């Protein structure tokens, strides 16, 4: 809609669209004749991603198609209506399909959020493929990337990152792309607040019940702790976020004990010849 501040604002164009297109170009995320399912959860990140894709479509240099896909995994009527209202105000022509995910994970006590995320991904791939898409786009941003890197080290004992582009193992010919890879969360929040928009957080019944009890999910609490760690480190080193981001593309294999590729562990010690 015309009242939504985005491209006419120089700051938002520089902080949002320019960084969005930088990721698209840097990681070759959008190609000629792609049919991309832009996956919208109802949160601020995916809704903004949809608007940025629309802007990219307006100034495209080659043909590609967009389908704005919303999966209803069992949202309450109130939450689903909020998604529809926001999509209408943002002029995003969404397609909604249902899945039974919330019901399937409702009584899972161990790692329900992990199972929910895995199931969501599968349903999105399947629906997108049925619609003739060859890619799904998710709204993970720069802060998600650096937090994931640090969380993997601190709680997972591993060095890995959230990739900007992935080929699906289970859905032949399908790819996952993350075009918000260089976009900062604070800039997304600034866009949201400038437009007086309200979006969903995680809207599952499990999270809602915990919030009513004043509790947090394990994954959320770890991410919040990680956010605080980065925030504290940044006080002494303003480059800490950029350094975390760059660290996973600057790995010196000669100084690590082992690494894993395609599920196989390779020991650097095994590769070192005897003197």
Task: Write the pLDDT tens digit of every residue in 28-86.
Answer: 999 999 999 999 999 999 999 999 999 999 998 899 999 999 998 888 899 999 999 99
Looking at the structure of the chain, the number of domains it has is 1
Contact assessment for residue 105 and residue 206, using Cβ atoms and an 8 Å cutoff: yes
Q: Which contacts (CB < 8 Å, 24+ apart) does range 120-124 have? A: 120/71, 120/73, 121/176, 122/170, 123/71, 123/73, 123/99, 124/37, 124/39, 124/69, 124/71
Asked, for residue 240, whether it belongs to a domain, the answer is no
54: containing domain = 10-200
The span from the CA of 100 to the CA of 122, in Å, is 12
Transcribe 21-48 into DSSP letters.
HHHHHHTT---TT-EEEEEE-SSHHHHH
Asked, for residue 243, whether it belongs to a domain, the answer is no
Contact assessment for residue 172 and residue 128, using Cβ atoms and an 8 Å cutoff: no
CATH number of the structural domain spanning residue 167: 3.40.50.620
Asked, for residue 110, whether it belongs to a domain, the answer is yes
Asked, for residue 249, whether it belongs to a domain, the answer is no
Q: What percent of the chain shows pLDDT beyond 90?
A: 64
Express each pLDDT in 250-260 by its tens digit. Answer: 988 888 888 88
Asked, for residue 27, whether it belongs to a domain, the answer is yes
């Amino acid at each position: 809609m015309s009242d939504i501040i985005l491209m006419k604002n120089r700051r938002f164009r520089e902080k949002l669209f320019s960084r969005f297109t930088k990721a698209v170009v840097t990681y070759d995320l959008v190609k000629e004749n792609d049919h991309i399912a832009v996956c919208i959860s109802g949160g601020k990140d995916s809704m903004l991603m949809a608007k940025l894709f629309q802007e990219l479509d307006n100034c495209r240099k080659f043909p590609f198609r967009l389908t704005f896909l919303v999966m209803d995994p069992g949202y309450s009527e109130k939450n689903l209506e909020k998604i529809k209202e926001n999509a209408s105000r943002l002029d995003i022509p969404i397609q909604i399909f249902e899945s039974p995910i919330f019901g399937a994970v409702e009584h899972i006590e161990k790692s329900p959020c992990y199972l929910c995320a895995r199931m969501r991904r599968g349903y999105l791939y399947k629906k997108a493929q049925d619609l003739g898409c060859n890619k799904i786009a998710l709204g993970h941003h720069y802060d998600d990337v650096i937090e994931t890197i640090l969380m993997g080290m601190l709680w997972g004992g591993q060095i890995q990152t959230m990739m900007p582009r992935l080929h699906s193992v289970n859905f032949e010919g399908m790819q996952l792309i993350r075009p918000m890879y260089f976009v900062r969360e604070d800039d997304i929040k600034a866009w949201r607040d400038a437009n007086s928009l309200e979006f969903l957080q995680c809207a599952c019944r499990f999270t809602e019940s915990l919030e009513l009890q004043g509790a947090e999910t394990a994954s959320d609490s770890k991410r919040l702790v990680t956010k605080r760690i980065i925030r504290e480190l940044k006080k002494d080193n303003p480059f800490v976020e950029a350094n975390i981001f760059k660290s996973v593309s600057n790995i010196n294999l000669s100084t690590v004990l082992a690494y894993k590729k395609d599920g196989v562990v390779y020991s650097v010690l095994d590769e070192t010849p005897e003197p």
